[in-house]
Amino acid sequence: MTQIRSFIRAFSKIEGVAVAGVLALLYVVFIMTSPEVFTKPRIYTSFMQTISPQLIIGLALTFVITAGEIDLSFPAVVALGGFMFVWAYNHIDGAMGPWIGLALALLVGAGIGWINGIMVAHLGVPSIMATLAAQFFWYGVTILVADGKSIALTGIRDEPIYEVFVGRIQGILPDQRGVPVGLPAQAVWALAMTIFMWFILNRHKFGEAVMFIGDNPDVARVMGINVEATRVQLFVMMGVMAAFAGVILTLDINVFFPTQGEGYLLPVMAAVFIGGTSIAGGVGVIVGTFFGAYIIGSLEAGVVASGISGYWVQLVKGLVMGASIILNILLGEGRIAGYSEKLRQWGVPMGGSSGSSYGGGNGGDRASIPEAPPPDAA
């Protein structure tokens, strides 16, 4: 009995376990309602393809929200980053063209992030206002420089950069009706970045600074953290990763269009919040963002494939997001432990051996409930 309880308690402490459970439940429902789609690998590779850019942005946004800030300008960075890449690819001849394009895109992302960071950290503009203005401005710049038109990337599939970032890795997933199904390379990139960012947030000085700043900037300051510099670095990172996501998206669909990234704003934020990162700052859950991105990205296709009318998609999204967040709060605040405390008070028997953790404390002022004798006394 005690072992099971302590197992459940330990299990619930594993990062992102609640969201992973929601995702698993979701896929079980999908498999039951439309087995012909959800027992085959192709739907999953399609998810990996579409979700990866959102996940990459979500990882950076997790840091930003953990620091108690927000960034609304990443859709514009996705668009302008994509444009820079396409522009360099079309204007610079030779094998280096697309790589210069990538570097240019990341540089522009860093620049936009730096300006956001300066506005927030040094001019004291609240991040929601600074980045909202940035979103309009840089989206406007993208429309101007692209002349409002979409641009095709002819021949990009023959470039090595295509294989590296959005190619298909064969031989890992099972075939579908004899046709080989490749694993999208961007999913591998996104997974590697998830692991890397987990270490940066949880095991690196930068991540610790971000958490303390989000928790209480005054504490961070008096403990010797350079709050302003960290905030600027944070927004630069956000810009770079959004631009990288933009390049991946552009590569994947072989075309740049000025409104790309527009549809990312709410899903990416939803993914971060579903994952358990608190809007209040101080706590960031990278693993949660990973599963959150997959939950949000799978819902639409899943609901439609289940045969329910597409009109239900938004409603289901809202439902799943609400349920995930409530679950996170229940687990995160240790209320599960509170419930088992209640059970004990109601006289549900529990094993011995837990005396040490409850003994000692200030028992004196509690009404005297007769204590059960230790097991050996019987």
Partner 1 sequence: MAAEYALQMVNIEKYFGRVCALRNVNIAIGSNEIVGLIGDNGAGKSTMVKVLTGVHRPTSGDMYIAGRKVDPRRYSVKRAHEYGIETVYQDKSLGEKQVLWRNFFIGRQVTLPFGFINVKKEKEIAQEIMLNTIGFRGRGITVDSKVSKLSGGERQGVAIGRAMHFEAELIVLDEPTVALSLKEVRKVLDFVHQIKVGGKACIYISHTITDVYEVADRFIVMDRGEIVGDIRKEDTSLQELDQYLLSYSHGLRDRAE
Interacting residues with partner 1 (CB under 8 A): 199, 203-206, 208, 211-212, 215-216, 218-225, 282-283, 356-361
Query: Structure tokens of 147?
Result: 């002349």
**Residue with the two structure tokens 């063209």:** 97
> Minimum distance between the CB of residue 372 and partner 1, rounded to whole angstroms?
19
Residue whose CB is less far from partner 1, 123 or 222 = 222
> Minimum distance between the CB of residue 12 and partner 1, rounded to whole angstroms?
14
Residue 105: which of 233, 251, 229 has the closest Cα? Answer: 251
Residue whose CB is less far from partner 1, 40 or 221 = 221
Residue whose CB is less far from partner 1, 38 or 198 = 198
The torsion angles phi and psi of 176, rounded to 5 degrees, stand at: -115, 110
Residue whose CB is less far from partner 1, 225 or 232 = 225
267: Cβ–Cβ under 8 A, 6 or more apart, which residues?
Answer: 54, 296, 297
d(CA 181, CA 179): 6
Residue whose CB is less far from partner 1, 95 or 219 = 219
> Minimum distance between the CB of residue 39 and partner 1, rounded to whole angstroms?
41
> Minimum distance between the CB of residue 280 and partner 1, rounded to whole angstroms?
8
> Minimum distance between the CB of residue 298 and partner 1, rounded to whole angstroms?
30
Residue whose CB is less far from partner 1, 174 or 359 = 359
Residue 333: strand, helix, or coil: coil
Please state, in angstroms and as integers, the Cα–Cα distance from residue 129 to each residue in 64, 124, 135, 283, following that order.
Answer: 15, 11, 10, 22
Give the pairing type, strands 151-152 and 255-256.
antiparallel
In contact, 311 and 300? CB cutoff 8 Å: no
> Minimum distance between the CB of residue 360 and partner 1, rounded to whole angstroms?
4
> Minimum distance between the CB of residue 274 and partner 1, rounded to whole angstroms?
19
Please state, in angstroms and as integers, the Cα–Cα distance from residue 111 to each residue in 86, 115, 131, 244, following that order.
Answer: 18, 6, 13, 13
d(CA 188, CA 202): 21
Residue 22: which of 278, 196, 262, 270 has the closest Cα? Answer: 270
Residue whose CB is less far from partner 1, 54 or 278 = 278
> Minimum distance between the CB of residue 225 and partner 1, rounded to whole angstroms?
6
Residue whose CB is less far from partner 1, 177 or 366 = 366
Residue 319: strand, helix, or coil: helix
Q: In one letter, which amino acid is 212?
A: F
d(CA 60, CA 237): 7
> Minimum distance between the CB of residue 204 and partner 1, rounded to whole angstroms?
5
Residue whose CB is less far from partner 1, 192 or 223 = 223
Residue 151: strand, helix, or coil: strand
Residue 139: strand, helix, or coil: helix
